[in-house]
């Protein structure tokens, strides 16, 4: 894919995490709602170039060329740190040493750049290869759906998990424009450890884009039939190179 086709705003060869500590196998209820991100946001850990903007949104990157591959919501071990920056296609969640191994990680990716090593064949999913995917211990998604980036439009993203059925579901909507749904059985308690970090990660590659988190809500009732619901408003923007 030619890097002259479109532009973004993710910083070159960097990864970004916003992490929140949470216990997976717990009977406790954890919930929060962030409608506006402010400086010194409590309970969040910022790494790389992630920062809050004066407009109240969360910016995952700098405005630099040559820097897109996508972003992901992840659930990973508590000691998780940004992975190798040598390949943006790993989205900062995996790297060349771990992308085929069990690292107790589950992610939902919004992938903006086709990587032939593990992404679905563009001919089988879309002309660009852009897709939404569910990742379990691998950057190669176990389930995908084609996705078209809507320039400068807000997307509402809802991720849910039902502990009774082990179904992880993803719902991405551009209001009045497009709607995408995806689900797969993921035995979360058998995949991730008891204590985890959750958050967003974005990584860089051969093109560039802007990804902003406008709001984030989380609701978790963790028991024998626990349910998790994660909602976020995300905006993406591109421009001609």
Structure confidence by residue, pLDDT tens digits, 57-104: 887 766 555 445 677 788 878 776 655 554 445 566 555 555 555 578
State the pLDDT at residue 237.
Answer: 43
225: CB partners within 8 A, 6+ apart: 162, 163, 164
State the pLDDT at residue 212.
Answer: 77
- Tokens 């994660």 correspond to 230
State the pLDDT at residue 94.
Answer: 56
Domain positions in the chain are: 15-237
State the pLDDT at residue 134.
Answer: 92
State the pLDDT at residue 220.
Answer: 74
- Tokens 């943006």 correspond to 88
Give the CATH architecture of domain 15-237: Sandwich (2.60)
State the pLDDT at residue 2.
Answer: 33
State the pLDDT at residue 106.
Answer: 87
79-84: long-range contacts (C-beta < 8 A, 24 or more apart)? Answer: 80/17, 80/19, 80/105, 80/197, 81/47, 82/15, 82/16, 82/17, 82/47, 82/48, 82/201, 83/15
Taking phi over 0 as left and psi of -120 to 50 as alpha, with beta for the rest, 164 belongs to alpha
Q: What is the C-alpha to C-alpha distance for residues 183 and 172, in angstroms, rounded to an integer?
A: 12
What distances in angstroms separate CA 224 from CA 24, 164, 221, one per listed residue? Answer: 11, 8, 10
Kindly give the parts of the chain with pLDDT less than 50. 1-20, 66-67, 86-88, 224-226, 235-241
| Nearest alpha carbon to residue 156 among 235, 56, 60 | 235
| Nearest alpha carbon to residue 147 among 58, 65, 71, 232 | 71
State the pLDDT at residue 184.
Answer: 93
Q: What is the C-alpha to C-alpha distance for residues 144 and 147, in angstroms, rounded to an integer?
A: 9
């Amino acid at each position: 894919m030619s890097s002259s086709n479109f532009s973004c705003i993710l910083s070159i060869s960097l990864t970004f995490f916003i992490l929140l500590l949470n216990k997976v196998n717990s009977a406790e209820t954890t919930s929060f709602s962030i409608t506006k991100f402010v400086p010194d946001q409590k309970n969040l850990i910022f790494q790389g170039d992630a920062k809050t903007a004066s407009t109240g949104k969360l910016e995952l990157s700098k405005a630099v060329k040559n820097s897109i591959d996508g972003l992901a919501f992840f659930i990973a071990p508590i000691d998780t740190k940004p992975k190798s920056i040598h390949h943006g296609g790993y989205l900062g969640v995996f790297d060349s040493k771990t992308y085929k191994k069990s690292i107790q990680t589950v992610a939902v990716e919004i992938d903006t750049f086709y990587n032939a090593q593990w992404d679905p064949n563009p001919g089988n999913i879309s002309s660009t290869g852009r897709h939404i995917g569910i990742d379990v211990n691998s950057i190669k998604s176990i389930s995908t759906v084609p996705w078209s980036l809507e320039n400068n439009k807000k997307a509402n993203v809802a991720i849910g998990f039902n502990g009774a059925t082990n179904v992880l579901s993803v719902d991405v909507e551009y209001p009045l424009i497009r709607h995408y749904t995806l689900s797969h059985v993921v035995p979360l308690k058998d995949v991730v450890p008891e204590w985890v970090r959750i958050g967003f990660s974005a990584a860089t590659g051969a093109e560039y884009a802007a990804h902003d988190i406008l709001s984030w809500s989380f609701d978790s009732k963790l028991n024998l039939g626990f349910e998790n619901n994660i909602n976020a408003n995300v905006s993406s923007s591109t421009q001609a190179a």
